[in-house]
Amino acid sequence: MSGGASFRAHLVDTLWVVGVFAFVCAVWEFAVKAFDLPVFVLPPVEDVVADLLSAPGLFASHALFTVGMALAGFAVAASVGLLMAFAVVSSRILDRILMTFLALLHSVPKVALAPLFVIWLGAGFEPKIAIAAMMSVLVIVVDAVAGLRSVDPEMVNLARVYRASPLAIMLKVRLPAALPHIFASWKVAISLSLIGAIVGEYVGGQRGLGYLILVSQGSFDTPRVFASVLLLSVIATALYYLIALAERMFAPWHVSRRAGGH
């Protein structure tokens, strides 16, 4: 019963997305025709699509690289972030030290640090992963800490009655209770990591959609710039749904309660 309802809700959602997308394309097409814009300013939609189809292998290999960098950076941020959150929740002193350090990191515009990472780590994949990780680690830690602290204190009491070790309380009581918070932060973090990967490709190296945008811009190949940006939007959306899928698998109680409207 809820399956049918949620399928219809998905269908309605999808139709909305398609509709808005079609509307944007229509306005775009209209602007090009009405103002007679040159291709290097705003290419018509069909030029962008044609460019995408003209070199699928090229786009695919650059896209794959960017996705790889974003996912690697995200994975680093997610694991380091979770360990940091455990530390923050378990100790007052670590709470002070790590949260101050993260606030400091937050105050630095990380994009401005990107060239520095190239100096330190070269033009390979390391600086890209580092920037992608740095972009998303803060939101992951902050939300994971909030989640780990949101657990019902009575549940911790129950665990203490049965002499649960601090580690068991962390992994079997706090962590599951925090999963909804953690997944919510991951949905934001994954797109931040994607931005980080692109910035990394802007400042060094010769692979990835960020690099492709940069060289196409250099030769005024605007359709290719647009094609890359379009591809990036599709990737960002796909990554978001990847996290949503993981949430469905690993926190099903949360998802089904939300759908059930309790």
Partner 1 sequence: MSGSPLVEIDKASKIYRSPRGATTAIADVTVQIGDGEFVAVVGPSGCGKCTLLKCVAGLEPLSSGEIRVRGERVDGPPDGLGAVFQRDVLMDWRTALDNVLLPAEFLGLRRADFLPRARELLGLVGLADRANSYPWELSGGMRQRVAIARALLCRPVFLLMDEPFGALDALTRDELNVELQRIWLAEKNTVLFITHGIEEAVFLADRVLVMDRDPGRVALDLEVALPRPRPIAVRDEPAFAAHTAKVRAAMPRAGASRAA
Determine the angle formed by the axes of helices 252-260 and 175-203, rounding to 10 degrees.
Answer: 100
Binding mask 131-170 for partner 1 (x = CB under 8 A): ---------------------x-xx-xxxxxxxx---x--
Candidates 137, 173, 199, 209: give the one binding partner 1 (CB under 8 A).
173
Q: Are 113 and 196 in contact (CB under 8 A)?
A: no
Instruction: Give 122 or 252: the residue with its C-beta nearer to partner 1.
Output: 252
- Taking the C-alpha atoms of residue 10 and residue 63, their distance in angstroms, rounded to an integer, is 27
**Binders of partner 1 among 221-260, rule CB under 8 A?**
251, 253-254, 256-257, 260
Instruction: Give 92 or 262: the residue with its C-beta nearer to partner 1.
Output: 262
Using CA atoms, how far residue 227 sits from 55, 69, 200, 208, in Å, is 11, 20, 19, 13
In the bound complex, what is the minimum distance in angstroms from residue 165's beta carbon to partner 1?
A: 8
In the bound complex, what is the minimum distance in angstroms from residue 258's beta carbon to partner 1?
A: 11
Instruction: Give 4 or 260: the residue with its C-beta nearer to partner 1.
Output: 260
Using CA atoms, how far residue 245 sits from 6, 78, 122, 186, 242, in Å, is 15, 16, 35, 12, 5
Instruction: Give 107 or 157: the residue with its C-beta nearer to partner 1.
Output: 157
Kindly state the tokens that stand for 191.
């797109």
Instruction: Give 106 or 160: the residue with its C-beta nearer to partner 1.
Output: 160
Sign of CA dihedral 28, 32, 34, 35: positive
Instruction: Give 29 or 152: the residue with its C-beta nearer to partner 1.
Output: 152
Q: Are 188 and 140 in contact (CB under 8 A)?
A: no
Measured in residues, the chain has a length of: 262
User: Which of 199, 202, 186 shows the shortest CA–CA distance to 74?
Assistant: 186
In the bound complex, what is the minimum distance in angstroms from residue 186's beta carbon to partner 1?
A: 17
In the bound complex, what is the minimum distance in angstroms from residue 253's beta carbon to partner 1?
A: 5
92 binds partner 1 (CB under 8 A): no
Residue with tokens 């973090």: 189
In the bound complex, what is the minimum distance in angstroms from residue 146's beta carbon to partner 1?
A: 18
Which residues in this chain contact partner 1 in the complex, by CB under 8 A?
Answer: 152, 154-155, 157-164, 168, 172-173, 176, 179, 251, 253-254, 256-257, 260, 262
